[in-house]
Amino acid sequence: MSVVKAATTGTGGPSVFDCFLCRIYFHLCIDFSRPVLIFILIAGVLGLSACGPAADAPVEVFGGPDSQRMAEVVAALKSGLKPRPVRVTLVSPATGGDEALRRVRARHPPLIVVLGTGALTLAAPAEKRIPLVFAMVGNPYFTGAAADARHPEIHQRNITGIASPPPVAAALERGARLLGPRRWGLVYDPLDGASLEIKERFEALAPTYGLTPLTEAASDAFGDRQAFDKLTAAGAQVFYLPPAASAARYGPMLLELGRQRRTRVVSSHPELPAPGAILRVTTDYRRLGEEAAAVARRVLAGEAPARIPIMESTPISIAADESLLNFWSGYPPLPRRKAP
């Protein structure tokens, strides 16, 4: 008993009994042999070490489908999270992602960065404990991650992230400033959810910039051609190429018309080439990846996702084709300087 009293009394420092393992030691020294005691202490240490992921455990990235914009975001994430390793799992709509997500969750990472609306729709209802940070999601409020855009501070407790609406407003505003008040045409695909959402934003926002919105629906190549003919007959002077997957179907044809100077094209599609567009206003996906990495670092540092409101950010990149701009503005091309 004298030994125990000496151990439990001191001059203000922590007592031996403040340590859980030390409590086990003093009690078991009396009743157990040394081999049994050693076994229990080792098991306790291993159990405590397994309570959470290691400080250098990889961050998991779960998203899809693979694309140029996805590659830009992933590259920025890897750079922003150094020196912590990043493991990437990308899925496609054709293969689904349930099994891939199960494998990601089974690794018990300290954080899962979820990229894309489809990936978030899978991950939000499936994972309620591991912290999730999402990006590349235009509208997270129908994915299960959150319910009300008017209250971005209210969301699933283990989830936070960045909502990035397509840059429709920026394209309309810059286009109106550059080209003046005109009739703008948009072909949308009613079978593409993102295309439908862009169509609604296009119709709602265009009048605020003095523009007249004209829209036509199409779901295949033949319908695309008919839709363009209808919009042209209705007086469309500018065509908007939206950042929707279905727009890749007719985008090359529209840009070719722009290169031939048969119509004005304003593009927000990040993966189609710039030539043919008089103005290109796209999401800057590298900057978006940097912003997502900043949120991820906050969570890895111990900040609870529940305390981080969902942010809205669509960083943009803007470029204009001067030769097309001069042509449609009626200005003569600048004379070329003769070589000395």
DSSP per residue over 109-137, as a string?
A: -S-EEEESHHHHHHHHHH-SSS-EEEEEE
The three-point CA angle 127-128-132 to 5° equals 70
Assess whether the previous peptide bond of 65 is cis (omega < 30° from 0). yes
Alpha-carbon distances, residue 65 vs 87, 114, 232, 253 (angstroms): 16, 12, 34, 24
Q: In this predicted structure, what is the pLDDT of residue 56?
A: 83
- Say if residue 207 is preceded by a cis peptide, omega within 30 of 0: no
Q: What is the pLDDT of residue 167?
A: 97
pLDDT tens digit sequence for 7-58: 333 344 444 334 444 444 444 444 445 544 444 444 444 443 444 556 689 9
Residue 254 has pLDDT above 90, yes or no: yes
Beta strands in the chain (DSSP E): 59-63, 86-90, 112-115, 132-137, 159-163, 183-188, 212-217, 238-241, 264-267, 279-283, 311-312, 316-320
pLDDT, position 34: 52
Contact 65, 93 (CB under 8 A): yes
CB contact at 8 A, 188 and 217: yes
Helix (H) or strand (E) holding 81: none
Q: Is the pLDDT of residue 200 over 70?
A: yes
What pLDDT is stored for residue 287 in this prediction? 98
Q: Which tens digit of pLDDT belongs to each residue from 162-175?
A: 999 999 999 999 99
What is the separation of C-alpha 337 from the centre of its chain, rounded to a whole number of angstroms?
46
Mean pLDDT of all residues belonging to the chain: 86
Predicted pLDDT of residue 332: 52
CA dihedral sign, ordered 324, 325, 330, 333: negative
| Summary count for the chain: helices (H), strands (E) | 12, 12
**In 3-state terms, what secondary structure has residue 316?**
strand
Place of tokens 């080439």: 273
Q: Per-residue pLDDT tens for 308-338?
A: 999 999 999 999 999 999 999 865 555 555 5
The pLDDT value given to residue 337:
52
Is the overall model pTM greater than 0.85, yes or no?
no
* Residues 87-134: tens digit of each pLDDT: 999 998 777 799 999 999 999 999 999 999 999 999 999 999 999 999
